[in-house]
Amino acid sequence: MAANSSTGSATEPPGLETQWREIDNLNQQQLRAGDSWYLLDKRWYDQWKEYVHTGDQNSSSYPGKIDNTELYEDLDSYHLKERLTENEDFILVPAEAWHKLLSWYDMMDDQPPLERKVVDLPSTVKVEVYPVEVYLCLSSNLESTVSARFSRADKIHAIHQKIRQHFNVSETAESRLWMRSTDTSSERLRNLNMTVLDTCLSSGMTVIMEIRNADGTWPTSRPQIMRNSADEDSYQGPPGVCGLTNLGNTCFMNSALQCLSNTPPLTEYFLKNSYLEELNFTNPLGMKGEIAEAYADVIKQMWSGRHYSVVPRVFKTKVGHFASQFLGYQQHDSQELLSFLLDGLHEDLNRVKKKEYIELRDADGRPDQEVAEEAWHNHLRRNDSVIVDTFHGLFKSTLVCPECNKVSVTFDPFCYLSVPLPVSKERVMEVFYVSLDPTAKPTQYRLIVPKAGRVIDLCAALSQATGIPPNQMAVADVFNHRFYRIYQTDEFLSCILDRDDIFVYQLSSGCVDQDGEEVVMAIYMRERSHYRDYGSGSNSYGTSLFGHPLLMSMPRAQCTREALYQLLLKRLARYVRPLDPSEEVEEEEEDEEELYKAQTNGVSDDEGEEDSEEAGPSKKEEETQESSQNEEQNNCQSEASPSSEGEERAEEEESSSEPDRGSSTEEGQSACGSTDTNSQDATDGDQSAGAEPSGKEEEDEEEPASCAQANKRLPGRRHYTERRKKALFTMQAVNSNGTTERGMGEADGSFSFSSQPYIAIDWDPDMKKKYYNENEAEKYIKHQSMDVPHQQTTVQLQECIELFTTVETLEEENPWYCPTCKKHQLATKILDLWSLPEVLIIHLKRFSYTKYSREKLDTIVEFPLRDLDFSGFLLKKTVNSTEPPCRYDLIAVSNHYGGLRDGHYTSYARNKDNGQWYYFDDSKVTYAREEQIVTSAAYLLFYQRQDKIRHPTIPPPIPSSTQPENHVSSQTCDGMDGAASCVSMETD
C-alpha cells in the first residue's frame, strides 16, 4: 500500500471559528453524481469539533493528525471494515472539506484517503461507501481468482477489461462473460453496456471469462462449477425446503421471505396463479405489479422442489427500486422489510381499482359492534386483496382527554401486532477496577446499576463490592491506549455502551476540580522511536501509545517533576522493574552536539542557553558564591529521594556527585547539573522530565565545590564527564490524544495546568524492553461476580400482549387534538383487540429507543407452538357458533442474533405439506426440533388460526445420504451477517 503522499504537508490552519465555519458550510453541499466524498473517522471528527468550539488553540482536545485506523479491517491491506454505519463510525465530507482538513492537520503515516464516489441509483443519489467486490477468473482455471472492486454505476465492459488486463488476455481473443452467484448457478452477461447495478451483480459473486477455442468452439456450453449443472435439473426435493442465497447482508430479507413462503394461504394463492387475475397496474399507490410478479417468481422457484437454493437477485433489485432505503447491501430490519412487502403486495393485488373518498365518523356513543362493522366495511371499500384476507385484523382505539374527559373511539385495521417487551429498570455493566495498591492487578467486576442512572450510581455499585467510597473513584472509557472520555459523576449511564471498555480508578482522595487542593492527572504510556521525525517539520522523536493509561490524583502544591516521577515509580511497581543500585549511577560523556540532540527530544523546557555556562566557575568564585550555592543545595535536597548507602559512598569518593537542580539561580543558571534518560546537560529552567536528584538525604558542604571542580576540568567547550543518576523514563505534558506535546514545567520545578492534565510517560525502546514487563502489565483478575452467569429475563407471550392492551399516556411528541378543548392534549390511550386475521403476525419489539438509551432486549419470550388462545384478549366476544375460534398454532419465526448495529437473521418454519419444522440460514437448510424454536432471538412470530390449518398428507422426508451434503445439514454460518462472505462462495 502506497504511503499517503500528503503526510508532512500540513499548513498553518486559520482560526478555530473560521475552520468550523468553512467546513460546516462545505458539508451542506448536495450530492452530485460523479463527485468525490471522503470517509472520516467519527471519533476524530468529534474531537475536532470539540477543539474548534473551545476557541482555544492550546486546548487539550486538539485532535492531532487525521486518524482513520478504526475504519480499517487491518493496516496491511487497508480494507474497510464491514457494516460501518454513517454518523456512528464515520462521517462523509466533500472533497474540498477533506483537502482543507488534510492541509491543516495532516494524516497518519501510510494511511490512504478513503475516497468514495457519488453514484446515481434508482430513486436516489448516494455516496457508495462499499463498492461491489467481486472475484475474477478464467474458465480454464476457476481456482485462480483475483478480487476487484467496481462501482454499481460502472459498466460490465469495465469488468471485461479488468479481466483481460490481469490475466493477460489478448484484445483479439474472442471471449464471453459468465456471472456466478452460487456453485450451481451461472448466467451469461450478454450486454457489456449494462451497469453493475442493472445486472444484479453483488459482492461475493464471481465473474468468469471464457475464451473461444482455436477451432471456433467454446470450451463449455456453461462453465463447470463444482457440480454438473445437470445435477440441478435432476434434483427433486421437498417443495418449499429451499434456501435463499445471501447477496450481501440480505439475511433480513431472506428471513422474512422464508416466513411468508411458509404461510400456506399466501403461497397457495401464488402457486395457483390466482395473482395473475388480480394484478393492479393502475394503482398509484402500487408498484405496477412488479413487486407481486417478482415475489411470485421467487415462491415458484422455492416450491418447485428442483432447487437447493434460489438466488433472489431480481426480487432484491425490485425492492430497492421501489424502496430506496433497501438499496445497497447494508443490514436492515426484517420487520421493516416485511411491512413494506405486505403493503406492496397488497397495493399490487388490490381488487379495488379506484379508491373512493370516505369520511370517517366518530362513535358518538354508538355500540361498538355497529362502529366496528362500519369501520371494517369502509376499509374494504378501499382495500381488498389477498393480504387483507389473510393478515388484516381490527382493534379498538380509545382516547380520553385529561382535561374535559372527552372520549374518542375509533376502530382501525392492522396487519401485524407490535407488542412491547417488559423493560427492566436495571442494567448489567462490566468494568475494570484499578486500585491504588500498586501490587494489585486490575479486577473485572459485573455490576447491576439503574438503567436510567448516572455515573455516580455505577461508582456506588462498585463501592459496595470494593469498600472504596464513590467519591474516590474516577470513571473513564479507555480506547486505543488512551482516554476516549473521562466521565463526570452526573452524566447518564446511557452514554456508556456495552462494548465500551470502562475503567474505574481509585483516587487517593475525592475527585476535585482544578481549583481544589488535589489535581487528577491522566497518564499515558508512550514508546519513543529511535529516529527523529524530520518529515513532520521538527526534530522531535516519533512516539506511539501502548499499555493501559492511568488516572491518579496528587496534591496540587506537590506537583513537581520529581514528586510525580517518584509517585509513578510506585504506581508502576508491579510491572516496571526498578533500577539496581549498580545501575543507578553511570558515567557518560556528552558534548555540545549530544546536548542539542537531547534537548530537542521534546523533554526539555529550556528557556535559553547561557554563555556563562561555557566554562565552570573558578575556585575563588565558588568560595564567594558559597552561601547562594548552599541555599540552592537545600532546594535540591527538598526534592531528593533516598538511595542506597553504597551509592552515597561511591559519590563521595568520586567527588563528582551533584544535587538535583530543583531550582535555578537568579540568572537562570543551575547550581549543579541535572540529568535525564539521555544524560543531557541542563540549562536555565530545564525541567527535564526524567531528571532525578543525586539520591542523598544529606549533602556535605563540600559538594558545591565538587560540582564547580567538575565544571572547571572542562574549559572551552561544554563537554562534561560526570556520574549522573539514571531515570527509567521521561515525562511530557500532552493533549488528550497523547499526540501533541505541551509545555508543563515552571522555573521552580512545579507544574501548572490550565485544563485536564494529560501526562505521557515516554520510554526509550531499550529501557522499555529491559525494565517494562508487558505480560505482567496486561494481567487482570476476575471478581467472583463475573462467574455468576447473567440470568436472562423470561416472560410469557401473554404478558407482552397484556402490555399492548394497557392504558398509556401519549408522549409529548405525539399529542392528540381534542375536538372539545380545541387544542392538543396528552390523552390516555388504550388499544383493544376486536377481531383477528387468519394469519396473525406478532412483532416482538426487541429494539428499545428512549431518551435515555438505545438497546436490544434479549429477553426470552416463551411462546406456545400450539393452542395460543386469544379469547381472553378479544373485546368482541363470540356470539354464535359461526364465529371463528380464537386458537392459533405457530407456523414460522424470524430470528435476530446480535446487537443494535449488527447481527444475523435466520428463520424457523413449518412446511405446509409435510408438517416438518426446518431451520433456514440463508442458503443452508437444516431439520429443526420443536424444542429448538423458542429462543431469545425470536423477533417475528407467525400464527395461523387452527380451523384453517390443513393437516399434512405427506410424511416428513427421512434424511438420506443421497441428498446433497450441504442441503440439509447441521452446519451453519457464523452468527454475524458477514454471512455474505460465508454464503456467496460456498456450496449450496
pLDDT tens digits for 371-399? 999 999 999 999 999 999 999 999 998 88
Q: Classify 919 as helix, strand or coil.
A: strand
- Predicted confidence (pLDDT) per residue in 549-579, tens digit: 999 888 877 788 888 888 899 999 999 988 7
Average pLDDT over residues 942-971: 60
Residue 892 has pLDDT above 90, yes or no: yes
- Rounded CA-CA distance 43/169 in Å is 46
Number of independent structural domains in the chain: 4
* Percent of the chain as helix, strand, coil, to the nearest 5: 25, 25, 45
Residue 266, pLDDT score: 95
For residue 450, tell me if it sits in a domain.
Answer: yes
Give Cβ neighbours of residue 492 (< 8 Å, ≥ 6 apart): 452, 453, 454, 455, 852
45 and 110 housed in the same domain:
yes
Residue 457, pLDDT score: 93
Residue 644 has pLDDT above 70, yes or no: no
pLDDT confidence bin for 184, thresholds 50/70/90: low
Considering 478, 513, 548, which residue would you say is the last residue of a domain? 513
Residues forming beta bridges with residue 132, ordered by sequence position: 150
416 and 430 housed in the same domain:
no
For residue 756, tell me if it sits in a domain.
Answer: no
Question: In the block, which residue shows the cell 416485511?
Answer: 338
454 and 478 housed in the same domain:
yes
Q: Classify 193 as helix, strand or coil.
A: coil
Set of cell numbers at residue 176: 464471453
167 and 249 housed in the same domain:
no
CB neighbours (10 Å) of residue 99?
15
CATH of the domain at 940: 3.90.70.10
Question: In the block, which residue shows the cell 481468482?
Answer: 145
Residue 631 CB-half CA count within 13 A? 6
CATH of the domain at 166: 3.10.20.90
Across 99-103, 621-625, 667-671, which has the greatest mean pLDDT? 99-103
Task: Considering only residues 762 and 809, tell me which one the structure prediction assigns the higher pLDDT.
Answer: 762
280 and 385 housed in the same domain:
yes
Task: Considering only residues 181 and 100, tell me which one the structure prediction assigns the higher pLDDT.
Answer: 100
Task: Considering only residues 212 and 531, tell me which one the structure prediction assigns the higher pLDDT.
Answer: 212
Q: Is 982 exposed, middle or buried (0-12, 13-18, 19+ CB in 10 A)?
A: buried
- Rounded CA-CA distance 921/918 in Å is 10
- Predicted confidence (pLDDT) per residue in 715-743, tens digit: 444 444 445 567 888 888 888 888 877 66
For residue 342, tell me if it sits in a domain.
Answer: yes
Residue 162 has pLDDT above 90, yes or no: yes
414 and 430 housed in the same domain:
no
Residue 604 has pLDDT above 50, yes or no: no
185 and 305 housed in the same domain:
no
- Predicted confidence (pLDDT) per residue in 245-264, tens digit: 988 888 999 999 999 999 99
What's the mean per-residue pLDDT of the chain? 76
- Rounded CA-CA distance 663/665 in Å is 7
For residue 788, tell me if it sits in a domain.
Answer: no
- Rounded CA-CA distance 701/703 in Å is 6
Across 198-207, 633-642, 661-670, 870-879, which has the greatest mean pLDDT? 198-207
- Rounded CA-CA distance 147/298 in Å is 29
User: What share of the chain in percent tops pLDDT 70?
Assistant: 72
pLDDT confidence bin for 947, thresholds 50/70/90: confident
For residue 785, tell me if it sits in a domain.
Answer: no
- Rounded CA-CA distance 517/795 in Å is 52
810 and 934 housed in the same domain:
yes
Residue 630, pLDDT score: 44
Give Cβ neighbours of residue 649 (< 8 Å, ≥ 6 apart): none
Tallying the residues shown for the chain, one arrives at 988
Residue 969 has pLDDT above 60, yes or no: no
Q: Domain range for residue 137?
A: 132-211
Residue 76, pLDDT score: 77
267 and 413 housed in the same domain:
yes
For residue 552, tell me if it sits in a domain.
Answer: no
User: What share of the chain in percent tops pLDDT 90?
Assistant: 29
* DSSP E strand boundaries for 534-633: 541-555, 585-590
Task: Considering only residues 684 and 453, tell me which one the structure prediction assigns the higher pLDDT.
Answer: 453
pLDDT confidence bin for 635, thresholds 50/70/90: very low
* DSSP E strand boundaries for 141-280: 141-150, 175-182, 185-189, 206-211, 243-244
Residue 831 has pLDDT above 80, yes or no: yes
Average pLDDT over residues 924-939: 92
Task: Considering only residues 301 and 657, tell me which one the structure prediction assigns the higher pLDDT.
Answer: 301
- Predicted confidence (pLDDT) per residue in 503-512, tens digit: 999 988 654 4
263 and 408 housed in the same domain:
yes
Set of cell numbers at residue 948: 384453517
861 and 941 housed in the same domain:
yes
Which of 17-31, 234-248, 955-969 has the weakest average pLDDT? 955-969
For residue 857, tell me if it sits in a domain.
Answer: yes
Residue 172, pLDDT score: 81
Task: Considering only residues 709 and 136, tell me which one the structure prediction assigns the higher pLDDT.
Answer: 136
Q: Say what the alpha-carbon torsion angle 558, 561, 562, 565 is, to the nearest 10 degrees.
A: 110
For residue 250, tell me if it sits in a domain.
Answer: yes
Which residues does the annotation mark as catalytic? 251, 904
Query: Whole-model pTM?
Result: 0.56
Residue 493 has pLDDT above 80, yes or no: yes
pLDDT confidence bin for 362, thresholds 50/70/90: confident
CATH of the domain at 60: 3.30.2230.10
443 and 504 housed in the same domain:
yes
Residue 827, pLDDT score: 85
Residue 417, pLDDT score: 92
